[in-house]
Amino acid sequence: MSIAEPNTGPPAWRLLLGYVRPHRWTLLAGALLSLATGAAGLALPLVARGLIDDLSHDRTITGALVLMSALVVTNAALGGLGSYVLRRTAESVVLGARQELSSYLLRLRIPAVDRTEPGDLMARVTSDTTLLREVTTDSLVGLGTGGLTLVATIVMMGLVDPVLLGVTLAVIVAAGTVLGVIVPRINKASRRAQDAVGVMGASLERVLGALRTIKASGAEHREEQRLHEAAEESWRQSVRAAKWAAAAGNTAGLAMQIAFITVLAVGGARVATGAVEVGTLVAFLLYVFYLMSPIQQVVGAITQYQTGAAALTRIQEALALPAEPSSAQPAPLPATDAEPAALAFDEVRFRYADDLPYVHHGVTFAVPPRGMTAFVGPSGAGKTTVFSLIERFYDPESGVITVDGRDTSDWDLTELRSAIGYVEQDAPVLSGSLRDNLLLGSPEADEDAVTRVVKTTRLDGLVDRLPRGLDTLVGHRGTKLSGGERQRVAIARALLRHPRLLLLDEATSQLDAVNEAALRDTVADVARTTTVLVVAHRLSTVTMADRIVVMDAGRVRAVGTHRELVAGDPLYAELAATQFLATTG
């Protein structure tokens, strides 16, 4: 599902100012250059009036022509420089927003990620932040410089002829009334268009993340229809926003044309009666022409602000999602001779959401430092959830989880996770090189350590076969590796961290018998110096564990060795009988 939190945060203009504040001085410089451009333009009608007066009185016009040429060149130079400064500042605002949002998304709590669509979050980082570029230059600066230029132009028009100014203002006020009706509709349509982009991104991410399954199921046409519907909804809302934006722009343009015709008629009558000179009328008409630019700038700023406000609201919604506390820098990894960790669960109750059933119903067990502890039981018993709670991806609803006698909620999160090596059930591999994946959690590891762990996890044969060895790219989500190779990469990555507590969730499920046996020996060797927790459905991987925790329906029903549990727990005996008929017989 997409984010659907109500917008109760600060107004959009305050959010925009927050992004702009670090760049306020360069933004001010760009605004001043724009104002200087406007000032140079405002002087042109006065110079033109003087030129006409000189012509009517047979005076030389050389000085006026030189001055007009200088003003035109100055206007162009200042305008170009100001445009560059403003656009560069706008790009810096977009950069800051993207860095802040992407950093925040990396710290999101897992429950918040569970409730959102990754594609929608990606749209907020990409398309929504892009809109800040226009809203910074066109809206914030445009409204300021355009507004000041508009006021200055009106003042100059008042100095030239107050009567004609009154005629012009009457037309502008009428147009402003119409715009007051149009602008809210732009905001509404823009927000819906951005939401539709988020839905489309979520749909695309959903399809690409399971493309093989979709192809194998023959579901391309159904998913294609879903994507097309999302794209069409985005198109409809964008067209609606464009329609109202066009109406706003045309209203402003129409108002200026009406103002020009009205001024020409009234001004012509005043020239005919001798109330004003022809030069005055020409100067005023030039100001009417010049008035079109700041009015369109202000209208464009208001229109663009509505689009930007919708994007800012969506960005703020993402920044309001629950996140983990940030840390200035990652905690150092444990030393190679660090003491293994002890772990205990005490009456832990947990469920993934308030409207879902409990996964754990008072889970209690203790794991001493060093050795291997295995968790077995039927699917849905809550085994993998144990690991998620240890990593503090989730917090228990009640009960206590301790590591080294300290409640995990009292640990600094980065310190806690730096002590843990975790191999997930699906053993994800990231796009990049094999070396990048191995060093993901321990970038400072030296070449000797990498070589040792590659040999330990039997990846050395793979490395020898790859065209560029460890520097070979593994493809998106490790598509160039087999399932067993991805599992061994994940295990090697965890071992490089020298964890005090190693969590292996179905870490051998995709390995063949030979590699499983080799890895079982490796894990047994690691268990001599660290605390190893293993979740397994295949009991062949855990029969030699120091203790086995049998879970069923969110509870711990028995703890013991393989031999003790075969004799004393019916559920474990049934699992063993299914997988080890010769042993149990």
Percent of the chain with pLDDT over 70: 91
% of the chain surpassing 90 pLDDT: 11
Which tens digits make up the pLDDT trace of 2-38? 555 445 566 767 777 777 888 888 878 877 887 777 6
The residue extents of the domains of the chain are 8-161+299-323, 162-275, 343-580
CA dist list (Å): 565 to 310, 343, 359, 547, 577? 60, 22, 23, 10, 12
Return the ∠ at Cα 307 (arms to 305 and 308), rounded to 5°. Answer: 60
583, pLDDT greater than 50 = no
The rounded distance, in Å, linking the Cα atoms of 296 and 299 is 5
Task: Return d(Cα 396, Cα 359) in angstroms, integer.
Answer: 10
Strands 371-376 and 360-367: unpaired
The answer to whether residue 456 scores a pLDDT higher than 90 is no
Residue 472 is predicted with a pLDDT of 85
| CATH architecture, domain defined by 343-580 | 3-Layer(aba) Sandwich (3.40)
Q: Which long-range contacts (CB under 8 A, 24 or more apart) does 56-63 make?
A: 56/278, 56/279
Tens-digit pLDDT profile for residues 479-500: 788 877 888 888 888 888 888 8
Kindly tell me if the per-residue pLDDT of 570 is higher than 70.
yes
Q: What is the pLDDT of residue 368?
A: 92
| pLDDT higher at 520 or 100 | 100
Reported in sequence order, the residue ranges of 145-211 that DSSP labels E, i.e. its strands, are none
Considering only CA atoms, which of 428, 417, 442 is closest in space to residue 495? 442
What is the average pLDDT across 121-147?
Answer: 76
Confidence of residue 582 (pLDDT cuts 50, 70, 90): very low
Tell me the range of 157-161, 510-514, 516-520 where mean pLDDT is highest. 157-161
> Mean pLDDT score of the chain, rounded to an integer?
81
Instruction: For residue range 353-403, list pLDDT tens digits in order.
Output: 888 899 999 999 999 998 999 999 888 888 999 999 999 999 999 999 999
Report pTM.
0.71
DSSP string, 241-289: HHHHHHHHHHHHHHHHHHHHHHHHHHHHHHHHTTSS-HHHHHHHHHHHH
Q: Tokens 């605002």 label which residue?
A: 93
Say which residue, 448 or 509, is predicted with more confidence. Answer: 448
CATH level 3 topology of 8-161+299-323: ABC transporter transmembrane region fold (1.20.1560)
Q: Starting at the earlier edge strand, list the strands of the sheet with 555-560.
A: 420-423, 501-505, 531-535, 371-376, 547-552, 555-560
